[in-house]
Structure 1
Amino acid sequence: MAQKQNTLRVGLVGAGIGGLAAAIAIARAGADVTVLEAAQELGEIGAGIQMTPNAARLLRAWGVDKVIGDNLVRFEELNLRRKDGTKVGGGPTIRVEKTLGQPWWLVHRAHLHEGLVDVARKNGCDIHIDSRVASISYQTPGPVQVQTERGATFSFDLLIGSDGVGSIVRRTLFPSVKPSPPTTNCAYRAVVPYSQIRKDPSLVELVSKPTMEVWMAPHAYIITYPISAGKDFNMVLSHHRPNPVIAVEDVDMNDFRNDYRDFDPRIRKIIDMVPTAKRWPLLVTGPLDTWSSPQKNVVLMGDAAHSMVNHMAQGAATAMEDGAFLGRVLRETVSGRLSLAEAITIYEKSRMPKAYFKQQVSFLNGYIWHLPEGQAAINRDKAMEVELKGEQPMRTPNLYVDPTTVLEVYGYDAEADADEAIRSFLEQHESKDESTGITKKEADKILNWFLPEEERFLIPSKF
């Protein structure tokens, strides 16, 4: 068993959503946490993001939801449509929320990030901006040494790479690994004020209540939902390009609008209101054989380890799960029940297959939404017909409400999973009598409960 430690110094490279979530969870576990952020000021770029129930669970557990407040928006229903606007599936989200006991929130990335920063600092995390990492030394005995481009040096017992798809931590550990787009699929992000949309009477149905809308089309889709206390209409517009997109690109707005020229006239009107947009790559990392150094003193999380396509809204959520899981296992390192190497081993063994599962589900949902016209799309829409009648099918191509997928993806509890993984690990590694193979757990359950203390576990010589 590990010896009790008084302190555990943990460094995180990257103060994005996943890194800050990990910082909060690890600080709550009793470790000393330092976050090194390359940017000159804290903030988050982009637009809206979904905090599905598996992520909302963590925001509530850490009190981040109280800080964000009304900027966490709940929506009433999800509607799946053909590109002409015809509804083919969907239903009320309250069914998912009641089943899982957690809300499904929509939020601007900036508001989410601000809430995480606030709670991280309240939990004692030391956040350094303008601290781009230049080098990492982890192979010699002793702590991990980190130097920034500005010449500052840091020493950590554990270094966590939470620095996204361009991770310097991953490049240090695995220089040959390079995130890449699995297809030519990419996405625009855009925001339009509801006040502007409501000026057009023909758009009332789309904005009369908080809903999530998905327009599916061959090789493209549009998903929309409210953010910023219901003031802004957020859009993610998926499409394909002739060649894979590997970096954020400026776009010609005529090209932007032309990609959706044959969609529902109502959503086209809103697209025409977008002043500027950028094209974002959808990069996938891994699956990797390991996320850590051989010494288990450097480890990856989030997009640095397992970036995925965005079609199930699980990129940030999965990074937050990583952080929550790390917080639980490192709590046992702080208490002395697990060594650092054991904690990281448990984390990798549990989280690596879960992240790979999320990568697959995300890709497959995108495939469902991008189906070309033909029998496959007809079958997809036919399978969702019962949803329009208010019924809940046992199985549906609408993965946002499919019972199995909802439980496996949105019903996942990272902290409970970590607790179970720790319990299982400790049971497998508990002491046992070398000659009989009897473990203390079974001896306590069957025999030791009635024996005098001096004769308890283990007594092979008396057998």
Structure 2
Amino acid sequence: MLEILYYLQGHQSVYVGIVGAGIGALAAAIALRRARVAVTVLEAAGELLEIGAEIQMTPNVSVLLQRWDVADVIEDSLVQIEELNMRRKDGTLDGHTDIPVVEKALGRPWWLVHRAHLHEGIAVTAKRLGAAIHTNSRVVSLDHQAGGKVTFDLCRGADGLNSIVRSTLFPDVRPDAKTTNCAYRAVIPYERIRQDSIAKELIQKQTMEVWMGCNAYIITYPISAGELFNLVLSHHRPEKVYATQPDVPTEELRNEYKDFDPRIKCIVDMIHETSRWALLVTGPLKSWSSPQKNVVLMGDAAHSMVNHMAQGAATSMEDGAFLAKCIGAVVQGKLSLRKAITLYEVERMPKAFLKQQVSFLNGAIWRLAHGPKQQARDAAMAPDLEREYHVRSSNIYGDPQTVVDVYGYDVKVHAEEALEHFTNAEKDEYLGTGIVPGLEKYMGWFMKLPANQPHSKL
């Protein structure tokens, strides 16, 4: 995806061209149209499609779907779970989160949805708001210094892992597999699981389940209005994986999880075809823009991340919403385009970096080998099982601090506060709002305490 913003010099009008029509790009189109910005979307494919199955709309972005009325379009496809259970690979329950408690605390839902349904809903909403979407339109090169048939004041690149825009700005940057970690993905019809006397125990309620093992985990949850059981199966390979590997032998997948809980193993054995997905990370980059501030990146083009916190698409959607607020200020004559891009970079770059790091840490927590660190992790989760109040948990999905930092984040509030601070600051004095906390709170703390202490009851 590549977004191109046409700024009409001497006027308070902004025309935005978005090349690519993925979830992040179309979300940006919605946010820009709501800011009264004209938008044209150019998609290389012959039709609008979204690759993949599941996606979590955690509370930090479910609130955007509500504000943008996308939720009304796809409401029949949205699933809300009752609880999250953290288990050892043998099925032993270590941690628990009451999802309705999180939702009530934040005033927002936690939704699970099929990517195709979400993508369709976002596309429908963008069209209703007046965004023009054209397929069979491909951008193959970019020159941000020379003029041509049309000259743009700003080009925004959201063209994913293989970004043309990023390679133009930063030719030496490549998405990297930081470790040998990768993932299988699969979906199984619930009806089939109900027919299995062992596996059906797992679907008595709508839950998210995580099975944690040494260098491997499985996370499952319902999608497609509860008709499909989604699995993401994290594991390591002897070598790094840099591209999707289709048609992985199912025997290889099954051997990877042969020692897991018999209930989930039964479901894994139902998988008849799968692919291995690379987990590639981009950056952190020193800049998301050209020196002239006429080209800027977003989404996976700027900050692709591992999947352990379900924040890749969410962060891209936040990028689009934040920049739309900045461009809206340009339309209103409150900000120059250069300053809008500066503000976007200063505020969004540290937030994306935080998400990248917390995602790494959560994956590491879930894949700890048996030993003192694993025992400390489990002890820190233990109060969850008794529904005891605590201010820290190694179950990051339910950890109160993470809930506030990640799921409680409101990009609208952040953008409005940043705009106010930025416009009131002297020209060279704006230092940002300081949104990145220390990462020690997420993992290191529970490893430094004896395993026999009630870590979470601080």
| Fold similarity call, TM over 0.5 | yes
- Please tell me whether Structure 1 or Structure 2 has the larger radius of gyration of its CA atoms: 1
Give the match for residue 183 of structure 1.
Answer: 179
Give the match for residue 395 of structure 1.
Answer: 392
Structure 1 residue runs of 4 or more that deviate by more than 4 Å after TM superposition:
none
Cα distance between partner residues in 2 of 1:35 and 1:301: 15
Give the match for residue 351 of structure 1.
Answer: 348
| Residue pair 1:179, 1:283 contacting (<8 A) in 2 also | yes
| Residue pair 1:49, 1:108 contacting (<8 A) in 2 also | yes
Query: Which digits, 9 at most, give the CA deviation of each residue in 1:22-79, with x for residues without a partner?
Result: 1111121111112222222111111111000001011111011111112110000000
Give the match for residue 240 of structure 2.
Answer: 244
SS at structure 2 position matched to 1:221: strand
Q: Structure 2 matches for 1:66-215, cutoff 5 A?
A: 66-140=72-146, 156-215=152-211
SS at structure 2 position matched to 1:90: strand
Query: Unpaired segments of 5 or more residues in structure 2?
Result: 1-7, 428-458
Cα shift at 1:158 = 2.5
Query: Which digits, 9 at most, give the CA deviation of each residue in 1:199-220, with x for residues without a partner?
Result: 1132233101110000000000
Cα distance between partner residues in 2 of 1:206 and 1:264: 11
Cα shift at 1:129 = 1.6
Query: Which digits, 9 at most, give the CA deviation of each residue in 1:284-339, with x for residues without a partner?
Result: 00000110112212111000000000000100000000010011110001111111
Residues 155 and 235 of structure 1: is their aligned pair in 2 closer, same or farther, counting only changes over 3 Å? Answer: farther
Cα shift at 1:6 = 3.9
Matching residue within 289, 304, 307 for 2:286: 289
| Residue pair 1:73, 1:107 contacting (<8 A) in 2 also | yes
Code of the residue aligned with 2:28 in structure 1: it is: A
Give the match for residue 364 of structure 2.
Answer: 367
Query: Which digits, 9 at most, give the CA deviation of each residue in 1:339-376, with x for residues without a partner?
Result: 11110100000000000000000000000000011111
Code of the residue aligned with 2:273 in structure 1: it is: T
Query: Which digits, 9 at most, give the CA deviation of each residue in 1:234-271, with x for residues without a partner?
Result: 00000000000000002111101111111011111111
Q: Structure 2 matches for 1:242-321, cutoff 5 A?
A: 242-250=238-246, 251-321=248-318
| Residue pair 1:9, 1:158 contacting (<8 A) in 2 also | no
Residues 140 and 395 of structure 1: is their aligned pair in 2 closer, same or farther, counting only changes over 3 Å? Answer: same
SS at structure 1 position matched to 2:86: strand
| Residue pair 2:242, 2:278 contacting (<8 A) in 1 also | yes
Cα distance between partner residues in 2 of 1:276 and 1:44: 19
Cα distance between partner residues in 2 of 1:106 and 1:156: 38
Query: Unpaired segments of 5 or more residues in structure 1?
Result: 146-152, 431-463
Cα distance between partner residues in 1 of 2:274 and 2:152: 40
Cα distance between partner residues in 2 of 1:36 and 1:120: 13
| Residue pair 1:15, 1:162 contacting (<8 A) in 2 also | no
Cα distance between partner residues in 2 of 1:154 and 1:416: 35
Query: Which digits, 9 at most, give the CA deviation of each residue in 1:65-114, with x for residues without a partner?
Result: 11111211000000000000110001210111111110000000000100
Q: Does 1:218 align with 2:214?
A: yes
Give the match for residue 43 of structure 1.
Answer: 49
Q: Does 1:418 align with 2:415?
A: yes
SS at structure 2 position matched to 1:137: coil
TM-score normalised according to structure 2 size: 0.89
Q: Does 1:327 align with 2:324?
A: yes
Code of the residue aligned with 1:243 in structure 2: it is: E
Cα distance between partner residues in 2 of 1:269 and 1:155: 58
| Residue pair 2:20, 2:42 contacting (<8 A) in 1 also | yes
| Residue pair 1:106, 1:227 contacting (<8 A) in 2 also | yes
SS at structure 2 position matched to 1:172: helix
Identify the range of structure 1 (33-42 vs 236-245) with the bigger mean alpha-carbon deviation: 33-42
- Number of aligned residue pairs: give it: 420
Give the match for residue 442 of structure 1.
Answer: none
Cα shift at 1:272 = 1.2
Query: Which digits, 9 at most, give the CA deviation of each residue in 1:123-176, with x for residues without a partner?
Result: 1112222222112222147xxx6xxxxxxx765442221111111111111111
| Residue pair 2:90, 2:260 contacting (<8 A) in 1 also | yes
Cα distance between partner residues in 2 of 1:31 and 1:204: 50
| Residue pair 1:18, 1:302 contacting (<8 A) in 2 also | yes
Cα shift at 1:4 = 7.1
Cα distance between partner residues in 1 of 2:262 and 2:352: 38
Cα distance between partner residues in 2 of 1:313 and 1:26: 24
TM-score normalised according to structure 1 size: 0.88
> RMSD in angstroms over aligned alpha carbons?
1.6
Cα distance between partner residues in 1 of 2:344 and 2:42: 22
Q: Does 1:61 align with 2:92?
A: no
Residues 6 and 426 of structure 1: is their aligned pair in 2 closer, same or farther, counting only changes over 3 Å? Answer: closer
Residues 158 and 402 of structure 1: is their aligned pair in 2 closer, same or farther, counting only changes over 3 Å? Answer: same
